[in-house]
Structure 1
Amino acid sequence: MSLQEILQNHFVWGLLLGLLIAGFILKNAIGTKMQLKRELRRVEGEMRDMQSHLNTQMKITAQGNDALTKEVEGLKTQNENLRVNLAALQNKPDKNELRQFRMQEMAISTMREQAPGFAGAWEKAMRQAESEMESAESGFSKLVRKVVPSLGYTSARPTASETQVIDNESDA
């Protein structure tokens, strides 16, 4: 059989045509496979880049959150300290208020001694207490008051018999 006889056979033509079509299909499959491999590599690279970007972003966010958390804790501590200090300062009597209180206490003790005429005696006792305060705030009395605060503003206290007389006068 010669080549010419083989080429004239319909089977051979069908076989060659089928092989030609199979070759085109194989070529397209190989090209598509290569294109898909390139696309897969590109997508994997993008995914790695996105993942590294996401990790970086998460680290930055975590650091920011940590810094904010520390700042909030510091501000809470500072706020609590300021609240405690403010409460302490609000409860602390002013120097002038303490002075006025001591003057009035001294005047009241003087009034116990001089009870009959209250208004005049009260004014006299207040003036006397004020002069005693002024004298107590200067010189040796001031030093004694700083060392022992209750001694700096002492005045004469009524005796038991004087107290009984005052009580009897107020009952009458």
Structure 2
Amino acid sequence: MENVAEFIKQPFVWGLALGLILAFFAWKSGLSTKLRLSRDIRRLENELRELQGHLNTQLKINAQGNQALQDELKVLREQNENLRISNATLQTKPGRAEVKQYQIMEAAVRQMREQAPGFAPAWEKALRDAESDFEAGENGIRRLVRRVMPAIGYQGGNHPASDDKDDND
């Protein structure tokens, strides 16, 4: 025992003991820091996975919305093209020119009934006026009114039905 007491009194032993105690506390501190950091890493990895899941879900929702908009745009473009073709077909439909000419002549005849003194010059003037009225009426509300009720929508003259009554009297 005396040797052990003598051994403990040595400065080297005291330095070694003090160094080991400091090393133990440093090791314990490092171990606790390592455990805390590993817990933080696991928590951050879980949070990252959740955020990636949310991001993937959001991207899928946006992709579906964009795809739906693209599909709707494609359908609307096809409908637009079909309507454009239908409109062009209806504009060039046989008989349309004849109906236009008939409506012009009808307006001119109605106007002639009002201005009958000199038939040929009045007829030409009435025909030109009716054509200009027709061309002016190709756009806007007059066109719509003329499509709904063809006898209305021109200036000059009465409705053809009322003219027929006057001729029969």
Q: Give the gaps of 5 or more residues in structure 2.
A: 107-119, 124-169
Mapped partners of 1:101, 1:61: distance in 2: 57
TM-score, normalised relative to structure 2: 0.56
Determine if the alignment matches structure 1 residue 97 to structure 2 residue 100. Answer: yes
CA deviations on 1:92-140 (whole Å, 9 max, x unpaired) are: 316633646999xxxxxxxxxxxxxxx5xx9xxxxxxxxxxxxxxxxxx
Percent identity of the aligned residues? 48
Mapped partners of 1:46, 1:91: distance in 2: 67
Mapped partners of 1:53, 1:31: distance in 2: 33
The equivalent residue for 2:82 is 81
Distance 1:67 1:100, change over 3 A: closer
TM-score, normalised relative to structure 1: 0.55
The equivalent residue for 1:22 is 23
The 5 A counterparts of 1:1-150 are 1-92=2-93, 93=96, 96-97=99-100, 99=102
Mapped partners of 1:52, 1:86: distance in 2: 50
Mapped partners of 1:84, 1:57: distance in 2: 40
Larger Rg: 1
Q: Give the gaps of 5 or more residues in structure 1.
A: 104-118, 123-172
CA deviations on 1:22-58 (whole Å, 9 max, x unpaired) are: 0011001101100110011011001100110111011
Q: CA RMSD of the aligned region, Å?
A: 2.6
Moved over 3 A (4+): 98-103
CA deviations on 1:72-105 (whole Å, 9 max, x unpaired) are: 10000010011111112222316633646999xx
Mapped partners of 1:3, 1:47: distance in 2: 58
C-alpha deviation, 1:69, in angstroms: 0.8
C-alpha deviation, 1:16, in angstroms: 0.1
